[in-house]
Structure 1
């Protein structure tokens, strides 16, 4: 019987390398795929993966089972790590004017993001139903790691508009996913 993620995580905290390898084996494809969608480059995606597991091993990223699923937490670590890697790359080319605000309370739930990844084809179908403006903003925010301010500047719209479109897109995606699930999954159409 496979051990639960939390039990493996507790073993990692005690220095068990085998437990870290098991977590790696279980999540490497999901994290690499997520990192690649965010960064768009193989080398950067590999760097994100390495950083995520270093953070877990050195306990710079800590998981609390009471706050949610392990898969949600590890995707969150990967998301912020990918954004850091992208920013590091951008800083080599030019200085950024804005710092990432990880405490922004209007930011969409990471739980939603994990569910999207776990339901891959369902999300792709639901994304097709979004208006063009919402689809673009969701893609830039979640998969390209852009800040809301950067999206506003890049698309020449107000920050409030960006936040509103993200919020509306997430509501619509949730509704579309419920409809898709109700119908029994993704259709071939």
Structure 2
């Protein structure tokens, strides 16, 4: 069953298949944790966010219902993680903002450090493949939590251009990460 596509796994999850949820979790836990950690800079909060995302998927309520026609499952997962991270940041400290120069908090356990490093490297490698404009917008949107309208204003570009760059960047990120996972999973 581990060879099933993300969409197939999601459909099985909707049918209450716990094994499908476990497989999806195994595929995306490192990416979602890394993403949440980079936004919140807090190991415990990032873990809670990741767990919450998968609980929302299992419960399938509200924004946790995936619609294939609106994009890939991986993009949807990152969006849910992003929104949960922004909410957590606002609850913790409204003034906290992500800065790529910030040093990472020390983490305990060699295993956790290795996993985090791999996830961060994977995400950074994927982002580095984007154009400079796309990198900037992805970082503003996903890591600093700016709205598309705020990005358009701060970068002095049309809102449609921001939306297009985000859409294209997500498509490229998905393609790269999918390729990496196929290699990792021997597909």
TM-score by length of 2: 0.58
Q: Which runs of 4+ in 1 moved over 4 A?
A: 146-149, 165-168
CA 1:85–1:18 in structure 2 vs 1: closer, same or farther (change >3 Å)?
same
Residue 145 of structure 1 aligns with which residue? 145
TM-score by length of 1: 0.58
The total of aligned residue pairs comes to: 140
Contact 1:148 1:162 in 2 (8 A): no
Measured in 1, the distance between the counterparts of 2:158 and 2:92 equals 28
Measured in 2, the distance between the counterparts of 1:53 and 1:125 equals 28
Measured in 2, the distance between the counterparts of 1:23 and 1:54 equals 12
| Residue 128 (structure 2) aligned to one of 111, 118, 124 | 124
Cα displacement (A) at 1:26: 0.5
Q: Deviations over 1:45-101 (max 9, x none)?
A: 11110110111011020111222211111111111111111122136x9xxxxxxxx
Q: Deviations over 1:86-140 (max 9, x none)?
A: 122136x9xxxxxxxxxxxxxxxxxxxxxxx97632533767x56xxx95x7645
- C-alpha RMSD of matched pairs (Å): 3.7
Listed as ranges, the gaps of 5+ residues in structure 1 are 94-116, 153-158, 178-189
Residue 85 of structure 1 aligns with which residue? 88
Measured in 2, the distance between the counterparts of 1:68 and 1:126 equals 19
Measured in 2, the distance between the counterparts of 1:73 and 1:122 equals 17
Contact 1:86 1:145 in 2 (8 A): no
CA 1:63–1:35 in structure 2 vs 1: closer, same or farther (change >3 Å)?
same
Question: Which of structures 1 and 2 has the bigger CA Rg?
Answer: 1
CA 1:64–1:50 in structure 2 vs 1: closer, same or farther (change >3 Å)?
same
Measured in 1, the distance between the counterparts of 2:40 and 2:22 equals 24
Measured in 2, the distance between the counterparts of 1:23 and 1:163 equals 39
Measured in 1, the distance between the counterparts of 2:9 and 2:129 equals 34
CA 1:19–1:146 in structure 2 vs 1: closer, same or farther (change >3 Å)?
same
